[in-house]
Amino acid sequence: MTDAPLIEVDHLIKRFGPKVVLRNLDFQARGGEFVALMGPNGAGKTTFLRILSSLSGPTMGRVRIAGHELPRQAAAVRRRLGVVSHMPLLYGDLTAEENLRFYGRMYDIARIDEQISTILDLVGLAGRRRDLVRTFSRGMQQRLAIGRAVLHDPDVLLLDEPHTGLDQDACEMLDAVLRQVAARGRTVVMTSHDLSRVEDLATRFDVLTRGSIRASIGKADMPRDGLLAFYRQSLEKARAESQKGGQ
């Protein structure tokens, strides 16, 4: 683990019109850390990840990734980010290989052919490399989307419910990819509703609810009754606190 946090977020506020989605959110993550971001539907997890990935601008507050300020230095940040979102970010009329080649050019990846083969092997699509993505099943598209996100070996990997639509094999493939990425000192932030899945994957568990991170716990400090109990208690506590604050 390196010392300076790769992701630093202070007092982040995000509004959509009059609606405040994130209020005073503080967050940090270091190299080698694997953060599972949990929270109820509509808590703002996707919004937060979109801000980290520079796709959406913060209304107020400070967001720094690898020492670069967002949104001002977004260009420098983008090279070091890998993103898996709800959507596959793939072109249906290009083959798996062509999709990766296109993104490889956009990221200026050296020895792209080798890298494409490595990635397709990694996500188990080597046999379908010349097939159009529009003929892929949802899970296969998701596999390729994951391959696309790690194609340029990013320092920070952001994933929004990446397990959705994946079969058992693919889930294990994804977990292996994520472990591999984290083991190389990269930072991973992943949202998920599948607590049993993230429980043995992540090194830290953050609960995002009511606009900010209300609880955070390291793997080593996990109470004996497990992640689900911790998650429930955190939501309960946040609700009690905000009711008190509201009165």
Cα angle: 147, vertex 94, 181; to 5 degrees: 5
Name the minimum Å distance from CB 27 to Mg ion. 16
Per rule CB under 6 A, is residue 37 in the interface with ligand ATP?
no
Per rule CB under 6 A, is residue 16 in the interface with ligand ATP?
yes
Q: Which of ligand ATP, another protein, Mg ion, none does 39 bind, CB closer than 5 to 8 A by kind?
A: ligand ATP
Stretch of 40-48, 128-136, 173-181, 212-220 contacting ligand ATP, by CB under 6 A: 40-48
Cα angle: 85, vertex 90, 96; to 5 degrees: 125
From 180, 209, 219, select the one nearest 36 (Cα to Cα). Answer: 219
Name residues whose C-beta falls within 8 Å of residue 63's C-beta, 6 or more positions apart in sequence: 8, 9, 12, 51, 52, 69, 70, 71
Q: Which is nearer to another protein, 53 or 212 (CB)?
A: 53
Per rule CB under 6 A, is residue 54 in the interface with ligand ATP?
no
Per rule CB under 6 A, is residue 45 in the interface with ligand ATP?
yes
Per rule CB under 5 A, is residue 56 in the interface with Mg ion?
no
Buried b (16+ CB within 10 A) or exposed e, 44-66: bbbbbbbbbbbebebeebebbbb
**Residue ranges that bind another protein, judged by CB under 8 A:** 50, 53-57, 75-76, 78-79, 81, 83, 85-94, 98, 102-103, 105-108, 132, 148
Q: Which residues bind ligand ATP (CB under 6 A)?
A: 16, 19, 21, 39, 41-47
